[in-house]
Structure 1
Amino acid sequence: MTKASGAMTSNFVELRDLRVAFDGVQVLHGIHLDVAPGEAVGLVGESGCGKSVTWLAALGLLPGKAEVSGSVRVSGQEICNAGRGALEAVRGGKIAMIFQDPSSSLNPVLRIGRQIAEALFIHRGLKGAAARTEALRLMDLVGIPDAHRRFDHFPHEFSGGQCQRLMIAMALAGEPDLLIADEPTTALDATIQAQILDLLNRLRAETGLALVFISHDLGAVSQVCERVCVMYAGRIVEQGTVSELFSEPRHPYTRGLFDAIPMLDGPRSRMVPIPGTVPNPRHLPAGCSFSPRCANAVELCRHDMPALHHDGADRGLACHRPVGTAPGRLSQTRILESIQ
């Protein structure tokens, strides 16, 4: 829920009016988002909607040409466009991020034990035998079998799923309060995906870790998150609890995401794709960015950008013409069944 900037809150992270531009082209348009301690928030949408950019901007990880404005507060401390020292105190120690492709994030010429030990030294000052002991504990924690033997293996000697587990182990090395998982299951087969989701749920239960789960997979989001934000063209267009959003998606884009999920069991039905593509940030429509792809659009939609209005504690919607209250083609139960 978006709260007034002057109000006392219990949120761990607060993003307020976060905006990003590259070479004068706006790609994020005023993101407001909170993450409470221990909460799991899903961020969903098609590729190019701004999900990863939101958190790369928040942590100061975008290239120098990016123009970032707004507010990013972590435990009440402002870090948007902060200096290197302030950012390094947050990155890894308070907030850790695992990136989309573990194979490109791990150093191929360094043994995996050394890479985890390096993170332990940077964030906690551990070295030598103490670092090795803790690295082995983290490898055991994330489910790497025979950790003592595999401590000295190189990244190419691990499977894709194991590399993702190792990335999670490295992220946990700094004992962060928040883990940002950017498409952590995209390149994995269904069985390994389920194992990674189970691991994230177990880690949250055991450590009290907060989680931001970035994904285009609504089924995966429903398994690990309590709240979901739907992004389109650099804006949050709908948000709510998992049960609210899955039982009653109100934005036509959210409904389109549900209708595009293939059914793997039950009666056959034609999958309904969303027509068109995410617009180029250089050529956004004058009104609602989704209006060229929306069957519900009217003239108002094509000329007036709807604001995100909140209805209750968690429910938010930015739409002039929301869809009806009838469930979409797939309910939350059917989505869960279709991925198990």
Structure 2
Amino acid sequence: MGTTGSSLVELRDLTVAFDGVQVLHGIDLDVGRGEALGLVGESGCGKSVTWLAALGLLPAKAGVAGSVKLEGRELIGGQRAVLESVRGKRIAMIFQDPSSSLNPVLRIGRQIAEALAAHRGLCGEAARAEAIRLMDMVGIPDARRRFDSYPHEFSGGQCQRLMIAMALAGQPDLLIADEPTTALDATIQAQILDLLIELRAETGMATVFISHDLGAVSQVCERICVMYAGRIVEEGSVEQLFSEPRHPYTRGLFDAIPRIDGGRERLIPIRGTVPNPKHLPKGCSFSPRCMRAVEDCRNERPQLVTLEDERKLACLRPVPAAGASEIRSDIPEGLLQ
């Protein structure tokens, strides 16, 4: 998936540095039209920075290099007018903290109407009617009456729904959801995930779902990229990664998932911490924490290569396929739905 001819967005050798310290190390990634792609990994691995860099939303001091193409049009180094024509209209992004993304002193209807005016040229009664329709689409009860409410009059889950409505205002081809359920309780999380699935089915837009929650990713996405220390270390379908995680880091993420039907066994944590970007190991960035690492792993940096089953893997000593399948047979069926 994500071949050159069918890709909506193509990232090639994307790098990011802050104050001379490189934090993103050559990301290659394709997003196909209508595809649902998940980005997973620990905090600080570069998931959000990848897309903030792609949309030109990083501060000026950030050094961004490489290529980001939207249907063949280069965005890196593009003019401000080009980027503004893409943000919101072609590629929209929602963030994990909706309360900080909504203006507290403006009525919510006006904020959605502003997005409609900017991206679709709607104004007056047409903008009001479309804003109410979007509020209703994302599940805001009594949308017509609440059009004139302020953000503080909505719950956290409703604010996230409103952010999704604003993102949909431009009828984007790609929606980037940056940990949209992190600040919500479990019941509301499930509702937001269902909403994202329904909206993608209705609109046909592609979705990039950024999260550290493997269960949530399995519900929303078809393909997953696992990131660690600014690199993609494994990429494959949901079925591949959940049944046979091959990279030791991916395997470690699954081993740390508590089992609902399990006993009182201890979880198996990934020892150590994510390395400081200023002092990355010479070889594989995961080698100091990896139980399978050998001397070559500490001296040689593995490249992301495509395996026979079409998954991509960056590891000199991956988990054996058969062993991974046997060990992960305990994954609850619900995570694969």
TM-score (norm 2): 0.96
Amino acid of the structure 2 residue aligned with 1:271: L
Q: Distance in 2 between matches of 1:257 and 1:176?
A: 32
Amino acid of the structure 2 residue aligned with 1:327: S
Q: Which residue does the alignment assign to 1:11? A: 7
Query: Aligned pair in 2 of structure 1 residues 224, 78: CA closer, same or farther (>3 Å)?
Result: same
Q: Distance in 2 between matches of 1:269 and 1:117?
A: 53
Q: Which residue does the alignment assign to 2:304? A: 308
Query: Aligned pair in 2 of structure 1 residues 170, 19: CA closer, same or farther (>3 Å)?
Result: same
Q: CA deviation at 1:333?
A: 5.1
- String of CA shifts for 1:236-276, please: whole Å, max 9, x gaps: 00000000111000000000000111112243432111111
Q: Is this contact kept in 1: 2:16–2:53, CA < 8 A?
A: yes
Q: Distance in 1 between matches of 2:329 and 2:195?
A: 25
Query: Aligned pair in 2 of structure 1 residues 302, 315: CA closer, same or farther (>3 Å)?
Result: same
Q: Does structure 1 residue 99 correspond to structure 2 residue 98?
A: no
Which residue among 93, 108, 111 is the counterpart of 1:115?
111
Q: Does structure 1 residue 267 correspond to structure 2 residue 282?
A: no
Q: Which residue does the alignment assign to 1:39? A: 35
Q: Distance in 2 between matches of 1:53 and 1:40?
A: 19
Which residue among 68, 74, 85 is the counterpart of 1:89?
85
Higher mean C-alpha displacement, 286-295 vs 304-313:
304-313
Q: CA deviation at 1:42?
A: 0.2
Query: Aligned pair in 2 of structure 1 residues 328, 257: CA closer, same or farther (>3 Å)?
Result: farther
Map 1:1-340; keep pairs closer than 5 Å.
8-312=4-308, 314-325=310-321, 326-327=324-325, 330-331=328-329, 334=332, 336=334
Q: Distance in 1 between matches of 2:126 and 2:194?
A: 28
Q: CA deviation at 1:336?
A: 2.6
Amino acid of the structure 2 residue aligned with 1:262: P
Amino acid of the structure 2 residue aligned with 1:206: E
Give the match's secondary structure for 2:77: coil
Q: Which runs of 4+ in 1 moved over 4 A?
A: 328-333
Give the match's secondary structure for 1:202: helix
Give the match's secondary structure for 2:332: helix
- String of CA shifts for 1:168-196, please: whole Å, max 9, x gaps: 00000000000000001111111111101
Q: Distance in 2 between matches of 1:314 and 1:173?
A: 36
Q: Is this contact kept in 1: 2:35–2:207, CA < 8 A?
A: yes
Give the match's secondary structure for 2:7: coil
Give the match's secondary structure for 1:12: strand
Q: Distance in 2 between matches of 1:313 and 1:12?
A: 24
Q: Is this contact kept in 2: 1:247–1:332, CA < 8 A?
A: no
Q: Distance in 2 between matches of 1:23 and 1:83?
A: 23
Q: Distance in 2 between matches of 1:285 and 1:2?
A: 31
Higher mean C-alpha displacement, 257-266 vs 319-328:
319-328
Q: CA deviation at 1:327?
A: 3.1
Q: Is this contact kept in 2: 1:222–1:332, CA < 8 A?
A: no
- String of CA shifts for 1:212-234, please: whole Å, max 9, x gaps: 00000000000010000000000
Query: Aligned pair in 2 of structure 1 residues 169, 310: CA closer, same or farther (>3 Å)?
Result: same
Amino acid of the structure 1 residue aligned with 2:332: R
Q: Distance in 2 between matches of 1:144 and 1:289?
A: 45
Q: CA deviation at 1:332?
A: 8.3
Instruction: Say how many residue pairs are matched.
Output: 335
Quick one: percent identity of the two aligned structures?
A: 75
The unaligned stretches of length 5 or more in structure 1 are: none
